[in-house]
Structure 1
């Protein structure tokens, strides 16, 4: 690296006490600097989809009216765009806004694999599929770091549930680790050159992940050659000696009960570590390595001997990026009777029903709270776009309360509104919490998992009544993942998955409902029909053994569609699924050897009457293998935009890695000679073309 000589000279000038001070928090969101040598504190900020409104040093909100940032759609929504270019734009917004708020590290992206639909942080994460995660994470990180701000990919590794997250010990096969749970982190390091990595709370094979010898020293810093810094999640360091030896570089954490009287010198990597070095139990070379990694991040982000360009907070272009991501993220799950798009010239009355139509979501979810200057709700968006020519009524239908009881009066009002309108737009689904602020007990939030996949607040009962009152009902779902639709899905002709769509979410929803935008989102996660159909619950273990707090990932590599396809369990909606207001034809799929890989070409044509975008998904099937392999695995995808009647040739080179599996006996990746089938489809459940090739 270009700064190594300067870094060495700085380390040589430091006292041991100054070095140790750099290895732990000095406030809620800073770690130590050395003022006399011109080394500043390192300032960090959540979150993965918007710069959080905390003061620089503590958890309190900054209250300046102009200190609001762009609330981007959450991680699962970004992944639903299947558009890595948008991932870069998304990251660039975060980088510029972090810079404007004086931050050095943005604590994102979160990329843990969606193992169970119940995980409270699925809304922050990207996908159940490692290839989709890998492609989206690279764009995001480069977008952030090209602004001169460090990204922090998290949570390394196997942090797949929030319940008991600081206690669970994850046990999984080496193959599952290598094939599913590590590829996104590997891409972040080797392709995106991420500057920082955050360790996880959980244990992995008996040792805490944030100072895990195998994960951090052997794989991250050893095999992958990671040169940046590893920081703990807040309060995740559990052992000073292990932290010293096994690769944790900065200990962060805050005991909210002790604020503001926290003695940061009592952190495990503060005075305790200092005494271990002085007594000769810890080699000072280990301390120097940690300091060196921190200084590399500082030099790479122009914190030392450099200057940063100006950042910007919630500008019009940033808000347009939020809108664009929201529009491309919306997934049209169902549109049987072509109820959508609505025609604002002919529709005279719309009943908007559901508390999520007016609920603002930005300040929910835990550490990913974002305070934005405005948030367009779905009702706002519909009213603005429909204009004065459409009569719009609103009925909440349900209350967001802890009791989750049906309110018959609200249901009756909703039914009356539904009967009196030509069309109903129902806006329901999940919420981040019971209140506008995170209270630690919620559905899509840090620190808690969902109790089940059922619609909360008795919405099944409400939807049942609304659909009976008016079958011309469009169901719009807010939330961070799958839910059980079994009570009403067959009677709902149109369903739109909106995720948590950010500050321009209502605008995006209205644009899709009225056909101003053709939906192009695809599911980044399988929607099972019921919880028992999810592999972690059908084959694996969750939330863990009651006595030992071990969680055995017995489903192994069969997560998401890999399980549904291989074990022939039909999903409600398959991975990669998403409809359009136009249609696409696939033809001329060809596959030929190209060096060690395979060159694939096919033609896609817009066969409908509207301009639109299709995500062409390439899956690979190994016809005969020495180990059990999934029915198919995603290995490439391309999002293409086509006018009516327009055709494009899609060309992809699948590298040899696309055909390999991890051999646990050899502890290496293996390409087993034989026949492979390459499949091109609009989803994992909708394969349009296939070709066989021998390797």
Structure 2
């Protein structure tokens, strides 16, 4: 241990106190030993340090900070150097705001397009997500503070996220859902990891010895700090045994006492606590040194970096008749509420208070585009308005080109909620159809943080996907429309034609006890390619104002080399992608997988020789029989493509294997071997995971407990609990009815799906576990007994607090 001498000076109570927060965002301090509090702040794409009342839902404004494009956007840049630059600037601002730990990046897989937090995640592919995540971490930590990669692991839905049990086979867990984290730990060298809320195969993630110790610590060599997601601790002692140092936010000492009693009773050895304290002290002291080097921030310079990030991440999806870039002198009509009030970030804990916010309508003068007027065209939150539609059509008739700003609103994509569908709101499509009748020269500018259905795509000649482009996104989009910037972004996720085409369609979200990942390794393009399923836009797809030619592929045991030529008339950047597919059929696999990529700038007519090197992840698979990574001896197809569906060059390479036994019985897993794994039966899935599926439905005959959700009050024995549930549902319905969707969402995010233990874990000690026992007694039908316990425990808590207050104690004694 690094700090053995210091730890020996601590009392057991002091050591335990360091294991949970002091308040909502800071850790505990021990002044007599020179141990200060650390500040942890949300910040996947900008610092969210709240100066006033703290919350986890983004309700209260934070100190102004640069709002960079979120991860879902920057992933489309496929530019690791850009990711590191963004991390660098995030780190500078974190130091300036005296933030020790920046809670990001988020690198969970986009298993399903409806996950409400997809805007905060990079990709459906673990290699791309891992490389981009590691780049952010390196940039942030170059300033001496800590990044905190999250949410570890397999957190792919928001509904019931604090208690859902994720059922996934070990191979899929390793290959898809942990690989990005492995890269973040080994290549990014993150100092902090945030555990996720959910259970994994029956255990809460921060209590899982397999996940936290065997994989994270022993296999990957992680020696940093694990922090819970806010309110994400279930059993504090079990979490400590698994190596989870820090529980956030504060529980007012309640769980510290649990640790103390566990040590005194011999459940935990004090040496286990000492090791956790040692790692936490190392984080504390190393970040403290960094914060002493605070510097002034040039926010205008940071704004320019945010603009560059947006420009490289914008994806041109359609350009019929080369309608883009807009020709000089062409007039445009700007239609759409998102033009005036841009969607530039997601909603929830990642909301950033921007230092500057570019407005599209103010930027036309510098773009060279002639704007003849603006009309909103539609109501932002879905209400139909014929008057606005008609005014938009009148304006559109007068322009050469219509710029139609469309997308998803803030209440649709939000932390704590999953989307209901993949559709753009009907009122926006009504406007698009009406515009098409009066002026078919339409360029749609799409603003949303995840994949949407596009049955309307024939109504537009141009489609520019800005995703959520950050505070400088408006100017960045205009730079692409005008041709000042040649678009170079490519999709980091597949766009299915309809939601029903997605591999997890039949198993998302988990509504009650568990969610089954029956599709196994077949998510995203892995499924669409293997099942020969047509998509709207494939993974890795994006257009440019120039063209590129690939040629002269050469493969050896270490790398693949080829030539790339810009065959168009303007300079541009191309993202070349390396895919590898095993030609053996002994083990079921995706048809091909991304194993490398690079972004190359080429002037018009320029040719460059490009080499992509193989690494330890190029040919490996996880063998469930040997319980380790193996290489299958076989011929492998090495492909270089402009997207997963646009392969330009191929060659083969024979690779020697590790001689591991075949892990599967092909006859028992025929659906997986076919690649069409969107409707796998329960028996076949049980054969894959190796045990009988747990019951996925609530047992409504049992009394409600700590890990049951408040939503389950609808089945409670206590009439007052059922009445409270009815009031909550009515309030949610009524708020939506009157157009207060964001407020209605708060009910679902902060109440409906919260397990009862969250009432104690998220209230900072206002409600403790004995009081919660009383609440559950009320819920389970014993009103007066439960109320008496709540009041008794509240009085006891108040009395103890007064006894600990020196002023109150002095008054009493006098």
State TM-score, norm by structure 2: 0.78
Aligned partner of 2:572 among 612, 620, 641: 612
Aligned partner of 2:435 among 442, 458, 466: 466
Matched, 1:395 2:375: yes
| Structure 1 residue 527: Cα displacement | 0.7
SS of residue matched to 1:657: coil
CA contact (8 A) 1:148 1:308 kept: no
Matched, 1:83 2:69: no
- Residue pairs, 1:145-156, within 5 angstroms: 145-156=141-152
Q: Which residue of 1 aligns with 2:766?
A: none
Compare 181-190 and 463-472 and name the one that shifted more: 463-472
Aligned partner of 1:273 among 247, 252, 259: 259
SS of residue matched to 2:276: helix
Q: Which residue of 1 aligns with 2:305?
A: 321
Cα distance in 1 for residues equivalent to 2:447 and 2:109: 21
| Structure 1 residue 377: Cα displacement | 2.9
Matched, 1:123 2:119: yes
Matched, 1:112 2:112: no
SS of residue matched to 2:412: coil
Which of the pair has more CA radius of gyration?
2
Matched, 1:159 2:155: yes
Two-structure CA RMSD over aligned residues (Å): 1.9
Matched, 1:210 2:206: yes
Aligned partner of 2:490 among 512, 519, 522: 522
Q: Which residue of 1 aligns with 2:413?
A: 444
| Structure 1 residue 275: Cα displacement | 2.3
Cα distance in 1 for residues equivalent to 2:362 and 2:154: 39
Cα distance in 1 for residues equivalent to 2:291 and 2:248: 26
Aligned partner of 1:300 among 265, 286, 297: 286
| Structure 1 residue 627: Cα displacement | 1.1
Unpaired segments of 5 or more residues in structure 1? 255-262, 434-441
Cα distance in 2 for residues equivalent to 1:312 and 1:177: 43
| Structure 1 residue 230: Cα displacement | 0.3
Deviation digits for residues 481-517 of structure 1 (CA, Å, limit 9, x no counterpart): 111111x112322111101101110010000000000
Matched, 1:135 2:126: no
Aligned partner of 1:491 among 459, 462, 468: 459
Cα distance in 1 for residues equivalent to 2:298 and 2:491: 28
| Structure 1 residue 657: Cα displacement | 3.0
SS of residue matched to 2:94: helix
SS of residue matched to 1:464: helix
Matched, 1:13 2:1: no
| Structure 1 residue 104: Cα displacement | 0.3
Deviation digits for residues 197-249 of structure 1 (CA, Å, limit 9, x no counterpart): 00001110011112222111111112112100000000000112211212211
Cα distance in 1 for residues equivalent to 2:559 and 2:293: 42
Q: Which residue of 1 aligns with 2:556?
A: 592
CA contact (8 A) 2:494 2:524 kept: yes
Q: Give the count of matched residue pairs.
A: 654
Deviation digits for residues 366-416 of structure 1 (CA, Å, limit 9, x no counterpart): 1001111221133333344136xx243111112123xx2321111111111
| Structure 1 residue 419: Cα displacement | 1.4
State TM-score, norm by structure 1: 0.91
| Structure 1 residue 295: Cα displacement | 1.2
Pair 311,118 (structure 1): closer, same or farther in 2 beyond 3 Å: farther
Matched, 1:103 2:99: yes
Cα distance in 1 for residues equivalent to 2:563 and 2:76: 23
| Structure 1 residue 656: Cα displacement | 5.0
Cα distance in 2 for residues equivalent to 1:82 and 1:307: 31
Cα distance in 2 for residues equivalent to 1:308 and 1:690: 53
Cα distance in 1 for residues equivalent to 2:654 and 2:321: 43
Unpaired segments of 5 or more residues in structure 2? 656-814
CA contact (8 A) 1:512 1:519 kept: yes
SS of residue matched to 2:521: coil
- Residue pairs, 1:179-578, within 5 angstroms: 179-253=175-249, 264-266=252-254, 268=255, 270-301=256-287, 303=288, 308-313=292-297, 315-343=299-327, 345-347=328-330, 349-361=331-343, 365-386=347-368, 390-401=370-381, 404-431=382-409, 433=410, 442-456=411-425, 458-486=427-455, 488-537=456-505, 541-544=507-510, 546=512, 549-578=513-542
Q: Which residue of 2 aligns with 1:647?
A: 607
Pair 385,676 (structure 1): closer, same or farther in 2 beyond 3 Å: same
CA contact (8 A) 2:299 2:355 kept: no
Pair 500,684 (structure 1): closer, same or farther in 2 beyond 3 Å: same
Cα distance in 2 for residues equivalent to 1:312 and 1:579: 39
